[in-house]
Amino acid sequence: MDMKTLLLLIALAPLAGSIVAGLFGWAIGRRAAHVVTIAGVAVSAILSLKVLSGFVFGHAPVFNEPVYTWLTVNGNTYSVGFQIDALSALMMAVVTSVSLMVHIYTIGYMQEDPGYQRFFSYISLFTFSMLMLVMSNNFIQLFFGWEAVGLVSYLLIGFWFKRPTAIFANLKAFLVNRVGDFGFLLGIGLILAYFGGSLEYRDVFAMAPQLAAKTIELIPGHAWSLMSVTCVLLFVGAMGKSAQFPLHVWLPDSMEGPTPISALIHAATMVTAGIFMVARMSPLFELSDTALNFIMIIGSITALFMGFLGVVQNDIKRVVAYSTLSQLGYMTVALGASAYSVAVFHVMTHAFFKALLFLAAGSVIMGMHHDQDMRNMGGLRKYMPITWLTSLVGSLALIGTPFFAGFYSKDSIIEAVNQSQLPAAGFASFALTASVFVTALYSFRMYFMVFHGKERWKLNVHEHEADAHDEDEHHHGLGPNDNPHESPWVVTLPLVLLAIPSVVIGYLAVGPLVYGDFFNGAVVIDAIKHPALLHLGEEFHGATAMALESLRSLPLWLAAAGVLAAWIGYMKAPQLPDAIRRRINGVYVLLVNKYYLDELYFAVFAKGSRWLGNAFWKIGDMLLIDGLLVNGSAAMVASISRLTRRLQTGFIYSYAATMILGVLALMTYWFAPLILR
């Protein structure tokens, strides 16, 4: 099988499964729908791993060829094509393998849902869209995949379309991403205008150094760097897709979708698209320190301040959602520090342990009869041992425990920022280091509240007003005589399979991916201006040594302090969090209301747009157009007509008098100047 056929099969196999399940699911039934979609994604995953192995073990050549010519204009050809190098091969393997686990998990989680076939069709279509994005060799195909993942996320977040909250959430995601995508499209437009008319990566990257010093005037008389403006606009697109402050507000509300899609969106597909895009565009971003500083500041704010919000959440899925926001901030900061390989490495490790945490949360929700409020849980360890153990693995990986996957990627990001020479690196270093404590606090707060302590559903199932949203339209929560239960094997098997790379993948991959030559040619770094990764490579002496050296590092002790604080606050002294909350009630209210950003956006954009629309309607439409131009013209004609009718009396003496008055007026006009002399 030649490479082009192999790549087409990888991309189109999930699409084929999606089409069959979506169009013919009613005819083939539930079992056949999940078989055909899982088979399509499995084929794609196996072949993606084969492609990746060529770069890991065999130094496979880069594939960069068109597949289909779409348009030819002025000598420039715009086509569908694939660029397969180490970066895209790694992303293909991560996307398809995590998607396969989610597909299998969905059999158990969605087994009673009437939209079973439709859901499998959507998630396979999601996988196809993400593959088209990461495999593309040009900006047009990239934008197609970019918009396709946005469209399918809209369908999946609002999957339970009879619930008003789900419709509001998917509309919110759609609108916020339109803001980011508008910036992204403007960036592509600048590339089309100034980079010779070609939108293929290799042509744009080859021409970029010649335009490094070029300026444009967005405002007359003020010169702006073309490269900085282009890169910032491209990153605005990444801010929407990868949920960076202040375009992050859609991601927590995406929890309105079923748990499997929460895992797929947050772990391997949509939110990683922005990180991948910036890494792919590294030849452009390396030419603009302004853009890199901007990226680093945005990522730092997201990592720290979104982590704070995770501490006050009581919905188990929303805790994991805010964890995703914070971790995306880490990846973004790594991009700003020109540590592109570290950012992609964290994308990979995070995909496994975050998918694990989301699917474990879904398993807990199933065991609790779809109650998502952690205040109604506790003591689940003995009822759900597999979910408990895999959740512990995911939590340890998330907080950066030595030898676990998350440790190698998170510590590498922090060290890369410490080595960066950009002005924003100081704030970024503080934000990421502080986030280590916050991450450990909210992660193990969730862990202790769910799996340890008192079995609170026995004490009073309805003690608290539930913050969590129901997963379907039936009654939820344990009854007074119910106990939680472990999930079926189609749910626990993906948990176990995801737990394995959550432990070992960092140890195995940190050397070649971060400090080796795996990404050579796939990402470009100006080592003279941005030497952070070069300095890290000089200090790296193996995965074991890196883990042992961390025992003396501040991040490890901050993580331990976060776990200890969670243990004291939610196991030994459960009255302590309430006491602290009363002391800092203003801060607590600010966090619970998510910094009031939703209210601000509603006031500025929703109410502002409505006010502006009313102003155009009442002043522009009713007063000026209808009142003055349309109705005013008619009223003026009517007034003149009424006056004319009064003059047309039909009597001869009236017309004679009018003629005499006219003659007198003319005589006055002509002879008055002579008399006055």
Whole-number pLDDT of residue 479: 62
Whole-number pLDDT of residue 480: 60
Cis peptide bond prior to 246, omega within 30° of 0: yes
Whole-number pLDDT of residue 465: 42
DSSP code, position 629: I
Whole-number pLDDT of residue 568: 94
**In this model, does residue 481 exceed pLDDT 50?**
yes
| 354's tokens | 């975050």
| 394's tokens | 């995911």
**In this model, does residue 47 exceed pLDDT 90?**
yes
Whole-number pLDDT of residue 472: 41
Contact partners, residue 172, CB within 8 Å, separation at least 6: 249, 250, 253
**In this model, does residue 650 exceed pLDDT 80?**
no
Determine the average pLDDT of the residues in 399-423.
93
Of 34 and 370, which is predicted with more confidence? 34
Whole-number pLDDT of residue 17: 93
DSSP E strands, 391-514? none
Whole-number pLDDT of residue 425: 93
Whole-number pLDDT of residue 676: 67
Structure confidence by residue, pLDDT tens digits, 482-532: 778 888 888 899 999 999 999 999 999 998 888 888 888 889 898 888 888
| 485's tokens | 């239960």
Whole-number pLDDT of residue 239: 93
User: Phi/psi zone of residue 379: left (φ > 0), alpha (ψ -120 to 50 degrees), beta?
Assistant: left
Determine the average pLDDT of the residues in 222-250.
91
Whole-number pLDDT of residue 677: 62
**In this model, does residue 477 exceed pLDDT 70?**
no
pLDDT band at residue 476, thresholds of 50, 70 and 90?
low
**In this model, does residue 602 exceed pLDDT 90?**
no
Listed residue (236, 398, 404, 250) closest to 326, CA to CA: 398
Whole-number pLDDT of residue 445: 94
Whole-number pLDDT of residue 473: 38
How big, in percent rounded to 5, are the helix, strand and coil portions of the chain? 75, 5, 20
Whole-number pLDDT of residue 478: 66
pLDDT band at residue 466, thresholds of 50, 70 and 90?
very low
**339 close to 416: Cβ distance less than 8 angstroms:** yes
Q: Name the β-bridge partners of 79.
A: 69
**411 close to 510: Cβ distance less than 8 angstroms:** no
Whole-number pLDDT of residue 348: 93
pLDDT band at residue 185, thresholds of 50, 70 and 90?
very high
**In this model, does residue 469 exceed pLDDT 60?**
no
> How many residues does this entry show for the chain?
677
Whole-number pLDDT of residue 209: 92
Whole-number pLDDT of residue 559: 94
Whole-number pLDDT of residue 468: 42
Q: How far apart are CA 316 and CA 364, in angstroms?
A: 9
Structure confidence by residue, pLDDT tens digits, 606-643: 777 778 888 888 888 888 888 777 878 888 888 888 87
CB atoms closer than 10 angstroms to residue 22: 18
Determine the average pLDDT of the residues in 164-180.
89
pLDDT band at residue 243, thresholds of 50, 70 and 90?
confident
Determine the average pLDDT of the residues in 579-597.
91
**In this model, does residue 322 exceed pLDDT 60?**
yes
**In this model, does residue 298 exceed pLDDT 90?**
yes
Q: What is the dihedral of CA 358, 364, 366, 370, to 10 degrees?
A: -90
Determine the average pLDDT of the residues in 349-369.
91
First to last CA, the chain: 110
Chain centroid, CA 658 distance in Å: 81
**In this model, does residue 58 exceed pLDDT 90?**
no
Q: How far apart are CA 602 and CA 45, in angstroms?
A: 42
Contact partners, residue 236, CB within 8 Å, separation at least 6: 179, 180, 182, 183, 184, 187, 247
Alpha carbon separation from 9 to 1, 70, 128 (Å, rounded): 10, 20, 11
Determine the average pLDDT of the residues in 141-155.
92
